[in-house]
Amino acid sequence: MKNITTLITVATFALSLVLVGADDKKKKDPAAERTVKGTLKCAKCSLKKTEECQAALEIKRKGKDGKETARVIMIKNDDVSKAFHKEICKADVFAAVTGKFEGKGKARILVASKIAKAEPKKKK
């Protein structure tokens, strides 16, 4: 009886360690730098969202119901985004933006450290 109790205790402990490790992998560091791909547009000229020219990244995702939704992420108006702005003020460009998010909720903006043209995913 002691062997079975010990075996169950060890198995439960091992399972709890595995589950805690799985939770740690799911949580992303909010301050970590990440790359987001989407269509880079001018927030003033293309989207009519701001009074001044500013870069904005429009990403399209499929929701749980299977419908495609578009979300606009504003990009901080700094040297990195201003250097790329000449290309997006005239036409939309598919790009990969690497940077960190600042703020919370709908007021979040992406502080870009790198912006590069990218190839869009081909639909199957």
Q: What is the pLDDT of residues 40-79, one digit of tens each?
A: 999 888 888 889 989 999 998 888 888 888 889 999 988 8
Tell me the pTM. Answer: 0.68
CA distance 13 to 101: 37
What is the topology classification, in CATH, of domain 34-117?
OB fold (Dihydrolipoamide Acetyltransferase, E2P) (2.40.50)
Q: Which helix (H) or strand (E) holds 23?
A: helix 2-26
pLDDT > 70 fraction of the chain, expressed in percent and rounded? 79
CA distance 94 to 119: 7
CA distance 12 to 123: 45
Q: What residues are paired with 59 via a beta bridge? A: 71
Q: What pLDDT does residue 83 have?
A: 87
Separation of CA 22 from chain center: 21
Q: What pLDDT does residue 15 have?
A: 63
CA distance 18 to 118: 38
